[in-house]
Structure 1
Amino acid sequence: MLNGLANWWDGVELWLAQAWFPVQFVLVMVVVVPLCLLAAWAIDKLVGRCGRWLGTARDDERPDGS
């Protein structure tokens, strides 16, 4: 199972390395940009939740009553 996956990945890697540069650029942008946007969104949500969980409730209780 893993041998077949490794062989497939080696073939894809070899094909991409030998491809024309504009093709490489477009493929990387089509794959990497959405993955980076998804990762940034997930990290933002995770940090926001951790911040709310660990933070104080200063926003809810203002001393001036507003």
Structure 2
Amino acid sequence: MLNGLADWWDGVELWLAQAWFPVQFALVMVVLVPLCLLVAWLIDKLVERCARWLGTARDDEGPGGS
């Protein structure tokens, strides 16, 4: 099973390496932009959760401090 997956991935990699540059760029952007946005969102949520656990969060106090 792993040999089949490795062979398939080698074919995809070879196809992508031989593709025209604008096609490569478009595919990378279609995959990486959403992936990077998801990772950034997850990091934001993780930092927010850690901040709430360690102390007050941004949303706990209003602009007047009350």
Structure 2 length-normalised TM: 0.80
Question: What corresponds to 2:42 in structure 1?
Answer: 42
Q: Identify unmatched segments of 5+ residues in structure 1.
A: none
Asked which structure has the greater CA Rg, the reply is 1
- Could you tell me how far 1:60 is from its partner in structure 2? 5.8
Over 3 Å counting, the alpha-carbon distance change for 1:60 and 1:17 in structure 2 is closer
Q: Which amino acid aligns with 2:45?
A: K
How many matched pairs?
62
Over 3 Å counting, the alpha-carbon distance change for 1:3 and 1:56 in structure 2 is same
Question: What corresponds to 2:26 in structure 1?
Answer: 26
Q: Identify unmatched segments of 5+ residues in structure 2.
A: none
Over the aligned positions, Cα root-mean-square deviation in angstroms equals: 2.2
**Identity between Structure 1 and Structure 2 (%):** 89
Runs of 4+ off more than 3 Å: none
Q: Which amino acid aligns with 1:28?
A: V
- Give me the whole-angstrom Cα distance separating, in 1, the residues matched to 2:42 and 2:55: 19
